[in-house]
Amino acid sequence: MANKHVFSYGAGKAEAKGADLTKNVLGGKGIGLMEMTSIGIPVPAGFTITIQTCEEYYQLGRKLPKTLEKEVRDAIVKLEKVTHKKLGDDKDPLLVSVRSGAARSMPGMLETILNLGLNDKSVEGLAAKTNNPRFAYDAYRRFIQMYSSTAMGLSKQPMEDMLHEMKHKIGVATDPEIPADKLKELCAQFKAFYKQNKGEEFPQDPWKQLWGAIMAVFNSWEAEKAVTYRRVEKITDLKGTAVNVVQMVFGNKGENSGTGVCFTRDPNTGENTFYGDYLINAQGEDVVAGIRTPLKLATLKDQMPKAYDQLCAVRAILESYYKEMQDLEFTVEDERLYMLQCRTGKRSPAAAFRIAVDHATQPLLTKAQANELIKKGYLPKKYADAALKPVITKEEAVSRLSSEDIERLFYPVIDSKKTGIDQLKKLRLAGGINAVPGAAAGKVVFTAGEAEAFAHNGDRVILVRKETSPEDVGGMHAAKGILTATGGKTSHAAVVARGWGKCCIVGCEALDINYNDKVMTIGGQTIKQGDYLTLDGSAGDIYMGDLTLKEPELPESYYTILKWADTFRTIKVRTNADTPYDADNAVRMGAEGIGLCRTEHMFFDTEERRLAIQEMIVAETPETRKAALLKLLPFQRDDFYGIFKAMNGFPVTIRLIDPPLHEFTPKDEAGIGKLSKITGLSPEKIRHRCEQLHESNPMLGHRGCRLCITYPEILEMQITAIIEAAIKCKKEGIKVFPEIMHPLTMDKKEFKILETQTRAVADALIKASGVKLNYMVGTMIEIPRAALLADQIAEVAEFFSFGTNDLTQMTLGLSRDDAGRFLPVYVATEKEGGKGIFKDDPFQSLDQEGVGKLVKLGIELGRSTRKDLKIGICGEHGGESASVKFCHRIGMNYVSCSPYRVPIARLAAAQQAISDKKVVIKKKTTKKK
Amino acid sequence: MANKHVFSYGAGKAEAKGADLTKNVLGGKGIGLMEMTSIGIPVPAGFTITIQTCEEYYQLGRKLPKTLEKEVRDAIVKLEKVTHKKLGDDKDPLLVSVRSGAARSMPGMLETILNLGLNDKSVEGLAAKTNNPRFAYDAYRRFIQMYSSTAMGLSKQPMEDMLHEMKHKIGVATDPEIPADKLKELCAQFKAFYKQNKGEEFPQDPWKQLWGAIMAVFNSWEAEKAVTYRRVEKITDLKGTAVNVVQMVFGNKGENSGTGVCFTRDPNTGENTFYGDYLINAQGEDVVAGIRTPLKLATLKDQMPKAYDQLCAVRAILESYYKEMQDLEFTVEDERLYMLQCRTGKRSPAAAFRIAVDHATQPLLTKAQANELIKKGYLPKKYADAALKPVITKEEAVSRLSSEDIERLFYPVIDSKKTGIDQLKKLRLAGGINAVPGAAAGKVVFTAGEAEAFAHNGDRVILVRKETSPEDVGGMHAAKGILTATGGKTSHAAVVARGWGKCCIVGCEALDINYNDKVMTIGGQTIKQGDYLTLDGSAGDIYMGDLTLKEPELPESYYTILKWADTFRTIKVRTNADTPYDADNAVRMGAEGIGLCRTEHMFFDTEERRLAIQEMIVAETPETRKAALLKLLPFQRDDFYGIFKAMNGFPVTIRLIDPPLHEFTPKDEAGIGKLSKITGLSPEKIRHRCEQLHESNPMLGHRGCRLCITYPEILEMQITAIIEAAIKCKKEGIKVFPEIMHPLTMDKKEFKILETQTRAVADALIKASGVKLNYMVGTMIEIPRAALLADQIAEVAEFFSFGTNDLTQMTLGLSRDDAGRFLPVYVATEKEGGKGIFKDDPFQSLDQEGVGKLVKLGIELGRSTRKDLKIGICGEHGGESASVKFCHRIGMNYVSCSPYRVPIARLAAAQQAISDKKVVIKKKTTKKK
């Protein structure tokens, strides 16, 4: 490849332009540094080695591309020019940080090395030049530590132990208290340890250091923890990491220096305030690691007012520029501000909604704030103007949110009514920092491995750690909630958990963990592994026991976003609901009808109903079968009445009985005995009949409309129940619109027989009642043949509902119940030990290529016969974002999903409509030209 | 409908022309009579009421169309003019027969009424006019009998009993011996019985009689036996029956009269001789019913030389005209010949081949025969010329035969070597008339109902009856062989059984049946229901016991036809074969390669193999799995070597392991014990592992290539076995061309992984061996998704083989194992108690509309990527005629089927190629115009 591998920046200019200026080339960190440089924000100079270089590195079998050396040497020369320092110079050495930076943020996953360029000579030069030997040797000992572990693979612990040992020996508590000579001593110890373990001297040549660091960053891309993180976060499309080599600036130069991380808005609530932590006299890693408890950003105003004002201006500039909440890293060196990183900030789901709404409706700064920053000369007029207006449109606000944001909004809270306020007080053990809101209850475990093991067995778990590290990501994901003894809101635990919207409390000082005995003490209580604990992540409170949780109250901004979404959306969103309760709930979630009402669930409800359906199954003549069905009729009629009432005029699609009859048979001797008593049939006969119903492949067996083809009495009863319920509603002035749906249709003639019988029963009842009642008769399309012959079936069917659960099973020849043995291998990537055949589990996200092709064909064929054919989907895919968008694109009229997925479908449908509109506008624009 | 319902004919002219002159309008009998009339053959005058009238009759709810009355009255007027007689005339009445006649022959299924027009007065006129009162009253009593039962639904038996009673009373043995006065007495008894049962006089008005008879014929169309017959014969597309009203001619007028049925060639052997039976002084039904034993046709030459010569001329004319062997009915009235029916004659399969070959290569008459008939003035020159040349082309000969003809050819014969000639002699019980060749052995039953019940339980049965009647058709079909005590080669039993190619012996006079006790005596032996009997239908011999049968020797003409077929055929025919034995057999059947070699069958062969595969299944590590597979390797290699050798250069498609592993697990404790001993694993562990393998829907589970995706060791072993066997062949100079096939592919990436591994293993072995070996890697297309994405899969696959068994299951969502509970309802017509949703069982004949659409799409997509993609089918449809033709039409390169279906596929493929050529020629001709 003759591509450019290295892009430099500094002194207000960046090399990367156009297509190179993208995250997939330079990574998030690299592009942030270059963009900030370009728009005049103070950033230390540096250069970025591209993500493509990382790809090449792996393609070459972990070897650097040949042309890279010259490009890096050139970039160092440029950097030396801008900084007026030289790499390896004994008097005034150029020091750099070497950091990873992928296209998407992977906090703590990839490697970083600071202070590179120091060696035994230049450290003395640095000490002399800064007149600060303590600072110089602190920088050197950090470099040796990081380089040894990160680039050379040595264990971190021994050097950490030496550091502790030293503090103990000289009787100090914190690192900054260690004097220069002791730090120098430590450096010597570290280097000795290095030599002992690596068999050679610690590298003194800054070039050797630099190449080692670059390769360390590339290698960290394929480290197990990073691979796991990408799988869990579903970001498996990334190609590699960039390497950012940046001039060092020092927050640890003394009391006029410091370093911090901050968010341009509160990432928990979304409130429009500047939010963050900093430490005086510290390097960046100290803040993130959560070792020292940091200070609130507001106090910076008093400690370093100039730097603070500058930072406020940077905040305004970056939000105006990126039109998004930013997550920033900064360092103040001798009161001078340097921005080290900017990226779109992770946020709680509530904050995501609030920020989107605010961005679309509110200015970032008040006029007074803007004027002050302008006056001080930190905020250019151009950015001030932008900060006084909403930065995005409502469409952009709706498009920005994800289905995960909605899911996370619905995470539960503690039901204080249930537990009682007094009792809650008694159960409260301690408080911590409320890092991620939401509540969680579960069994306590103390290691990530145990968290995964417990969760695998179906247990809810709370992971309790002193602090978390990237190695713990798997267990953190498996846990319902996370509790740590140390760290702040920007600690590893907080940042990772926030990304998932997972309840998290950090910095709980009252917590003492004994990993060996698998116990913790907190608030005077001893809690063992497996005991229950409840966390309230919103308040930061920790409770004993397994408290009842309840649905949270949704923020106003959630309703605003979904209201906007509904105005953009062009397809309807219905729900799958089988009971008046579900129906009611779904309407509250925004459902515009029922797309799938499964009638068989109604048969399981009470013993009376179960016995009646069993009686029907063992009936030996059509007459006894009809008699049994007659018992079920009033139950079904009442259920339908309730559902119609709840939906009050919204269409209700009712699917006739679908599962094979053996699902209803008595499963034990007691059940058989009861059925025998009722029917007068011998238990042997009943057992025999139940055995007869056994099927080799029930999925493909005697079920769906095949039941009504062989037992038309069932159809008759169900239609009677539906129509009588509808008539009752009509008479009471309730609007009702039943859509009667036959499942598992495979042939036009088959469907015609059912349709004819359906209409005969329905029309007779309607005629006799004297009311006017409209209804539709349609079919599921869930068998490949039905999709292939949809033109024929549409001659009879008034609507189609694609049952993509079954359609996926049949189109892929894949039993959902059995796929567990091999489907994970198909979905997992090679790196994860799988084969990477499918990008997603086809039962979770619609296989658009295969099943989708059949669905598309079915729609085209169906509409070729019947232009106004109403088409929807009622598989579980109807509530999955990508699938909903696909349904919109292929022209469905609606999607239907479980009540709690309705908001997700509403949002996804709106996003696709917005995206379509953009395409239309673009096309129009192109045409005009 | 303003359509013409009635078509008259007589005196050398027929009304029907053009489109009306087809079997679907006039029925087989009607069209035969009209065509014979038109070409100058002596036929009594008459008219035919169309099949469309029958359809209208049912559409009107069993009512005759309004315009029919006038049309029938007009036709009677015409008939009266031609015959110079008047319906209902007291002195010289016009008498007619009223017979059914559908588009296809349904022997004995539909109703017939003779001598209609007689009443108490005209019978006297007829007596006077013919000067033969016995004849007149015999005709009248027959008419009363037939009309009462057929048109008026009275039971036949009482009148039969009265007839017997009369014979007994007056001491005569046969009907012709009853004198006139006694017949008159019988008529009176019959009429009294009629009045008693119907509450009114026997109808004297000939018009009332006529309408009654016409409706009786129409009603017979929907009688149960006719519906059953059509289902069994798979002729469910017929719309109804025509009614033939024909002037009566009388074979029962005395010793100068007679009646007979004959075939223009021997229907058993196909030999070019005139073949038939006749009776002197009898009416047609007497011959067919088999009540009197008829005379051989040859003796007619002496008895009525003139009529015989005329008949010989008719034979020549009709075969020349129809270019087919004809089944004729004739009556001689006072030495004058009348033809009453001609139709394509049913024949044994051997005869079908012989006749087709003869028709395409031999003249019908010798010159001498022709000259004699010309000289006598019976044979016009034009027909004589035609009779001296072959009447059809080879293409027509090939197209004429059906897959059933081939199937029937393979019906077995008694293995005399096995039983021994002496023993055979001892076991022989008696002889009968060898009505249909082939042998059968099974349990004796005496009723059609028992035949069906026994067969349903899996028993082979021999149906033994005094005589059979149309009511017995169901049981006859269920039986392996049929034996009757009475009747000749044209009796009901013989004709029906011949149509099916089912072994049948009739007229076994030694046979005495006691229906009540369910026993028969024959050759001094008493045989009970359930005892075994063996029939040799070719020789007419009946044996005690369950003799071993063997494959028959095939007639020379069979080889001739298939040789011709191969010259016309454009697609290849391969076989499904898993063993060298099958492969060998298939080559003899004409297979041009193996299209499906199932490797898993090889694992079941011996205990050693079974244990090795079980060891593989319970293996806990890849290492032990590999070790177990290593045991299987030599077995598979030897098997492949044998198969390659047998196929000597023909391509062999080997499918890697397909079934789910639980099919191989030990099924009992003994098996578990053995496996435990070998593996050292505890029985509990083995049992647990076997249970783990249980699947809810194994059809859609962990099978096919999914096994090799999860256990690549299996693939490695199988590829090694294939390639090592091929290398061994190559080294021995045996030509070999393996095609390695992966089953159940659903995705390109999935297949690419398997293809890559396959080639890696194969290429390494080939390289190491130093021989040059070509092989291909392809896939089954048996999952809908694979067909939908065939363009992608064809990027990797060198060939496709459509597995239409599984593809049908998945496309229709229909488990073959479970469909028994409802599929019959889908296939059976409404009249048969079903719903008539499918025309054929989709597992027997490919669902061309649904599955076929997917297959067609798969081919188009596949070839869009890879033009030369080799495509075949290896489902069971590959040996079914209609499916093979479909495969040809959609562009497959070959079909593959079980060895014994290979000839059927060869024939069907040739027929489609011939049909295509016709279309091409037609198109060319049209273009020239």
Task: Report yes or no: B640 and B583 within 8 Å, Cβ to Cβ.
Answer: no
Shortest CA distance from B819: residue in chain A: A701
Average the pLDDT over each of A746-755, A912-921, B4-13, B679-688 and give the range with the smallest value: A912-921
Q: Which helix (H) or strand (E) covers residue A258, if one does? A: strand A258-263
* Per-residue pLDDT at B929: 46
Note the Cα A245 to chain centre separation in Å: 31
Q: When comparing pLDDT for A249 and B110, which is higher?
A: A249
Residues of B acting as catalytic residues: 492, 874
Q: Which residues contact B234 (CB under 8 A, 6 or more apart)?
A: none
Contacts of B815 in chain A (CB under 8 A): 695-701
Predicted confidence (pLDDT) per residue in B143-180, tens digit = 999 999 888 888 888 999 999 999 999 999 888 789 99
Predicted confidence (pLDDT) per residue in B29-59, tens digit = 999 999 999 999 999 999 999 999 999 999 9
Predicted confidence (pLDDT) per residue in B477-513, tens digit = 899 999 999 877 767 788 778 767 689 999 888 899 9
Cα–Cα distance for residue pair A510/B814, rounded to 1 Å:
63
- Count chain A–chain B contacts defined by CB atoms under 8 A: 171
Question: pLDDT-based confidence at B764, cuts 50/70/90?
Answer: very high
Closest approach of B798 to chain A, Cα-based (Å): 20
Q: What is the DSSP letter of B116?
A: E
Q: Which helix (H) or strand (E) covers residue A7, if one does? A: strand A6-10
CB contact under 8 A, A783 and B744: no
Q: How many CA atoms lie within 13 A of A368 on its CB side?
A: 0
Q: Which residues contact B374 (CB under 8 A, 6 or more apart)?
A: B381, B384
Contacts of B850 in chain A (CB under 8 A): 746-747, 785, 788-789
Cα–Cα distance for residue pair B98/B116, rounded to 1 Å:
7
Q: Which residues of A, range 667-696, sit inside 8 Å of B by Cβ?
A: 695-696
Q: Which residues of A, range 285-314, sit inside 8 Å of B by Cβ?
A: none
- Please give the mean pLDDT across all residues of chain B: 91
Q: Which of A79, A71, A36, A73 is nearest to A50 (CA)?
A: A71
Burial class (CB in 10 A: 0-12, 13-18, 19+), B496: buried
Note the Cα A338 to chain centre separation in Å: 32
Best B658, B707, B823, B835 residue to mutate vs chain A (most A CBs within 10 Å): B835
Distances (CA, A) of B562 to B348, B559, B584, B589: 17, 5, 18, 10
Average the pLDDT over each of A28-32, A884-888, B721-725 and give the range with the smallest value: A28-32
Instruction: Supply φ then ψ for residue B275, to 5 degrees.
Output: -135, 125
Enumerate the β-bridge partners of residue B436.
B504
**With an 8 Å Cβ cutoff, is A788 touching chain B?**
yes
**Cβ atoms < 10 Å from Cβ of A458:** 6
Q: How many CA atoms lie within 13 A of B528 on its CB side?
A: 2
Residue B532 in tokens: 């075994």
Instruction: Supply φ then ψ for residue B668, to 5 degrees.
Output: -140, 175
Cα–Cα distance for residue pair A841/A843, rounded to 1 Å:
5
Q: When comparing pLDDT for B324 and A694, which is higher?
A: B324
Predicted confidence (pLDDT) per residue in B830-865, tens digit = 766 789 899 888 998 999 999 999 999 999 999 999
* Per-residue pLDDT at A1: 39
Q: Token match 């002194």: residue?
A: A11
Closest approach of A712 to chain B, Cα-based (Å): 12
* Per-residue pLDDT at B539: 82
Q: Which residues of B, range 714-773, sit inside 8 Å of A by Cβ?
A: 744, 746-747, 749-750, 753
B822: nearest CB among A702, A747, A822: A702
Task: Report yes or no: A871 and A804 within 8 Å, Cβ to Cβ.
Answer: no
Contacts of A811 in chain B (CB under 8 A): 783-785, 788, 810
Residue A492 bears catalytic tag: yes
Q: Which helix (H) or strand (E) covers residue A68, if one does? A: helix A68-83
* Per-residue pLDDT at B490: 64
* Per-residue pLDDT at B926: 59
Average pLDDT over residues A495-522: 86
**With an 8 Å Cβ cutoff, is B821 touching chain A?**
yes
Average pLDDT over residues A377-399: 93
CB contact under 8 A, B815 and A701: yes
**Cβ atoms < 10 Å from Cβ of A191:** 18
* Per-residue pLDDT at A646: 93
- The answer, yes or no, to whether residue B782 has pLDDT greater than 90, is yes
Residue A886 in tokens: 């696909």
Shortest CA distance from B807: residue in chain A: A813
- The answer, yes or no, to whether residue B921 has pLDDT greater than 70, is no
DSSP per residue, A777-829: EEEEE-SHHHHHTHHHHTTT-SEEEE-HHHHHHHHHT--TTTGGGTHHHHHS-
Predicted confidence (pLDDT) per residue in A171-187, tens digit = 998 887 899 999 999 99
Closest approach of B853 to chain A, Cα-based (Å): 7
Task: Report yes or no: B771 and B818 within 8 Å, Cβ to Cβ.
Answer: no
Shortest CA distance from A697: residue in chain B: B697
Predicted confidence (pLDDT) per residue in A770-799, tens digit = 999 999 999 999 999 999 999 999 999 999
Note the Cα A481 to chain centre separation in Å: 15
Best B236, B661, B697, B699 residue to mutate vs chain A (most A CBs within 10 Å): B697
Task: Report yes or no: B906 and B582 within 8 Å, Cβ to Cβ.
Answer: no
Write the single-letter amino acid at A475: G
Residue A380 in tokens: 């250019």
Shortest CA distance from B806: residue in chain A: A813
Predicted confidence (pLDDT) per residue in B653-666, tens digit = 999 999 999 888 88
Question: pLDDT-based confidence at B781, cuts 50/70/90?
Answer: very high
- Please give the mean pLDDT across all residues of chain A: 91
Q: Which residues of B, range 361-420, sit inside 8 Å of A by Cβ?
A: none
Q: Which residues contact A76 (CB under 8 A, 6 or more apart)?
A: A47, A87, A94, A210, A245
Shortest CA distance from B692: residue in chain A: A821
Average the pLDDT over each of A247-256, A650-659, B760-769 and give the range with the smallest value: A247-256
Average pLDDT over residues B389-396: 95
- The answer, yes or no, to whether residue A308 has pLDDT greater than 80, is yes
Q: What is the DSSP letter of A86?
A: B
Residue B26 in tokens: 């006039």
- The answer, yes or no, to whether residue B576 has pLDDT greater than 80, is yes
Instruction: Supply φ then ψ for residue B379, to 5 degrees.
Output: -115, 115
Q: How many helices (H) and strands (E) does chain B have?
A: 39, 32
Predicted confidence (pLDDT) per residue in B616-629, tens digit = 999 988 889 999 99
- The answer, yes or no, to whether residue B1 has pLDDT greater than 60, is no
Closest approach of A679 to chain B, Cα-based (Å): 23
**With an 8 Å Cβ cutoff, is A791 touching chain B?**
no
Beta strands B295-296 and B275-280 are: antiparallel
Predicted confidence (pLDDT) per residue in B874-906, tens digit = 988 999 999 999 999 999 999 999 888 899 999
- The answer, yes or no, to whether residue A364 has pLDDT greater than 80, is yes
CB contact under 8 A, A749 and B847: no
Question: pLDDT-based confidence at A925, cuts 50/70/90?
Answer: low
- The answer, yes or no, to whether residue A529 has pLDDT greater than 80, is yes
B815: nearest CB among A697, A753, A821: A697
**Which of A133-137, A286-290, A423-427, B736-740 has the largest mean confidence?**
B736-740
Beta strands in A23-124 (DSSP E): 46-49, 96-102, 112-116
Q: Which residues of B, range 798-817, sit inside 8 Å of A by Cβ?
A: 806, 809-815, 817
B784: nearest CB among A810, A822, A838: A810
Task: Report yes or no: A100 and A217 within 8 Å, Cβ to Cβ.
Answer: yes
Q: Which residue in A342, A874, A887, A897 is the catalytic one?
A: A874
**With an 8 Å Cβ cutoff, is B710 touching chain A?**
yes
Predicted confidence (pLDDT) per residue in B109-122, tens digit = 667 899 999 999 99
Closest approach of A834 to chain B, Cα-based (Å): 9
Task: Determine the 3-state secondary structure of B360 from DSSP.
Answer: helix
Question: pLDDT-based confidence at A293, cuts 50/70/90?
Answer: confident
CB contact under 8 A, B696 and A695: no
**Taking each helix axis from N to C terminus, what angle separates A133-146 and A157-170, rounded to the nearest 10 degrees?**
150
Question: pLDDT-based confidence at B107, cuts 50/70/90?
Answer: low
Contacts of B701 in chain A (CB under 8 A): 815, 818-819, 821
* Per-residue pLDDT at A844: 86
Write the single-letter amino acid at A216: A
Q: Which residues of A, range 834-853, sit inside 8 Å of B by Cβ?
A: 835-838, 847, 849-851, 853
* Per-residue pLDDT at A929: 46
* Per-residue pLDDT at A409: 86
**With an 8 Å Cβ cutoff, is B556 touching chain A?**
no
* Per-residue pLDDT at A924: 64
Q: Token match 């207006």: residue?
A: A389
Nearest-10 Cα torsion for A495, A501, A507, A509: -160
3-state secondary structure A648-714: CCCEEEEECCCCCHHHCCCCCHHHHHHHHHHHCCCHHHHHHHHHHCCCCCHHHCCCCHHHHHHCHHH
Task: Report yes or no: B226 and B106 within 8 Å, Cβ to Cβ.
Answer: yes
Cα–Cα distance for residue pair A831/A124, rounded to 1 Å:
45
Average pLDDT over residues A902-909: 96
Closest approach of B888 to chain A, Cα-based (Å): 21
CB contact under 8 A, A813 and B814: no
Question: pLDDT-based confidence at B18, cuts 50/70/90?
Answer: confident
Contacts of B749 in chain A (CB under 8 A): 835-837
Note the Cα A144 to chain centre separation in Å: 37
Instruction: Supply φ then ψ for residue B769, to 5 degrees.
Output: -80, -25
Contacts of B818 in chain A (CB under 8 A): 695-698, 700-702
Rg (CA), chain B: 33
Task: Report yes or no: A176 and A132 within 8 Å, Cβ to Cβ.
Answer: no
Q: When comparing pLDDT for A225 and B135, which is higher?
A: B135
A696: nearest CB among B749, B818, B849: B818
Predicted confidence (pLDDT) per residue in B243-297, tens digit = 999 999 988 888 899 999 999 999 988 999 999 989 998 877 676 665 677 888 8
Closest approach of A796 to chain B, Cα-based (Å): 15
- The answer, yes or no, to whether residue A649 has pLDDT greater than 50, is yes
Write the single-letter amino acid at B588: R
